[in-house]
Amino acid sequence: MKRFLLLFFWILTLPVFAQEHHGDVPSTSATQVEATEEGEFKPGEMILHHVADAHEWHFATIGHSHITLPLPVIAYQSGKGLSVFSSSKLAHGQTYDGLKLEHEKLEAEDGSKVYDFSITKNVASMLLSAVILIVVFFAVASGYQKNRGKAPSGIQSFFEPIIAFIRDDVAKINIGPKYERYLPYLLTLFFFIWFNNLLGLLPGAANLTGNISITFLLALFTLLITIFSGNKNYWGHIFATPGVPTWLLPIMIPVELIGIITKPFSLMVRLFANITAGHIIVLSFISLIFIFKSVAVSPLGVGFALFINVLEMLVALLQAYLFTLLSAMYIGGAVEEHHHDNDLGFGGDHTHNPESAAAPH
């Protein structure tokens, strides 16, 4: 019931697509209306607008009123120095201090290079999620101090089984005896992705984990940890694959090196594609109401959107688990010690394929 009310509120706060709007409202601003001056509804523009990043946080449009939170614009230009001001000064196609927004890209009127360090909607959402994570896990740590030797209670009792699961069934199994060194990273990775996946389902929320830059950075962390944790056995399987004739090494070494890159690349694309696809599907079903301009279509659109939205709660958890599991497998392969039996390593002849063990959603 709560989930239905949440979705119902989210539907009500969508922009009034079918109404006519006249005036100079830029198509790249969060205050845009997803209707042309003739009243034509453009679902593609509306969907891209909701899943993309922006220089202001647009929560809802009710009638002609926009509920928007302006965010700080921080720009640096050679010769002009640093400019810091509110994004509200760039709304409705306005220019300020020689700067303007074109398709949410900060540009200079004179065409000079602009370095954009602004606090965008995704950045603000990331900072908000970081605060939530700190508050939640300080509360969990406080619970452990108070309930030492006792049964967990409150928020501690909810998170303890999840933490134990990541420790025992993800880190310990896939990394081995050295798992404690990497457990803080894996726990942070799991809860950061899970919390932001759930936050992205709220009305007016940012699509943080559906941003390719964020998923790229998370995958890059896993890649760097894997590379710098690699032991002699790991690199031996890369540059001198056991059982491979010497004359084949010039072919196998590039293949193995490419494999090191493609594994985190799959992490990046999987998380980005699944989270973005969920938002697009929900918005597409809602758009059917305005495309057909009929209330009779609304039960079908709302029903399917509700089903996908509930399914996205499961996907939010599943994608966080898959990203963490595969990261642990890659790290585990890098720190795996050499065995004298026919145990193949993390290189090209590693028979245990993490990608097949955890197929994408």
Arithmetic mean of pLDDT, 11-26: 36
User: How many domains, the chain?
Assistant: 2
Q: Are residues 176 and 304 in the same domain?
A: yes
Percent of the chain with pLDDT over 90: 37
Q: What is the pLDDT of residue 137?
A: 92
pLDDT, tens digit, 9 for 90 and up, residues 118-131:
999 999 999 999 99
Q: Are residues 300 and 322 in the same domain?
A: yes
Q: Is 36 helix (H, G, I), strand (E, B) or coil?
A: coil
Domain boundary, last residue among 91, 118, 145: 118
**How far apart (Å, rounded) are the C-alpha atoms in residues 111 and 97?**
13
Concatenating the DSSP letter of every residue in 130-187 gives HHHHHHHHHHHHHHHHHTTTS---THHHHHHHHHHHIIIIIIIHHH-TTHHHHHHHHH
pLDDT, tens digit, 9 for 90 and up, residues 255-268:
889 989 999 999 99
Sign of CA dihedral 207, 208, 211, 212: negative
Instruction: Tell me the residue range of the domain where 83 lies.
Output: 2-118
Q: What is the pLDDT of residue 356?
A: 46
Rg (CA), the chain: 24
Q: Are residues 159 and 129 in the same domain?
A: yes
**How far apart (Å, rounded) are the C-alpha atoms in residues 28 and 64?**
17
Q: Are residues 207 and 328 in the same domain?
A: yes
Sign of CA dihedral 117, 327, 135, 7: positive
Q: What is the pLDDT of residue 194?
A: 96
C-alpha distances in Å from residue 325, one per residue of 57, 171, 178, 215:
33, 8, 16, 15
Is it the case that residue 89 has pLDDT exceeding 60? Answer: yes
Arithmetic mean of pLDDT, 16-43: 44
Q: What is the pLDDT of residue 63?
A: 66
Q: Which of 31-35, 137-141, 202-206, 213-217 has the lowest mean pLDDT?
A: 31-35
Q: Are residues 179 and 310 in the same domain?
A: yes
Domain boundary, last residue among 93, 118, 143: 118
Domain boundary, last residue among 86, 118, 150: 118
Arithmetic mean of pLDDT, 206-225: 94
Q: Are residues 8 and 94 in the same domain?
A: yes
**How far apart (Å, rounded) are the C-alpha atoms in residues 36 and 265?**
39
Q: Are residues 209 and 297 in the same domain?
A: yes
Q: Is 153 helix (H, G, I), strand (E, B) or coil?
A: coil
Q: Are residues 272 and 349 in the same domain?
A: yes
Q: Let me know: does 325 contact 317? Beta carbons within 8 Å.
A: no
Q: Are residues 324 and 177 in the same domain?
A: yes
DSSP run (H or E) holding 212:
helix 212-229
Question: How is residue 125 written in tokens?
Answer: 């959402």
Q: Are residues 31 and 163 in the same domain?
A: no
Q: Are residues 251 and 270 in the same domain?
A: yes
Strand partners, 61: 66
Q: What is the mean pLDDT of the chain?
A: 80
C-alpha distances in Å from residue 356, one per residue of 15, 207, 221, 222, 329:
42, 28, 22, 19, 12
Q: What is the pLDDT of residue 22?
A: 33
Give the amino acid at 288: L
**How far apart (Å, rounded) are the C-alpha atoms in residues 345 and 10?**
49
Our separate counts of H helices and E strands in the chain read 11, 7
pLDDT, tens digit, 9 for 90 and up, residues 284-298:
888 888 888 877 788
Q: Are residues 169 and 97 in the same domain?
A: no
Q: What is the pLDDT of residue 338?
A: 67
The owner of tokens 């798992």 is 179
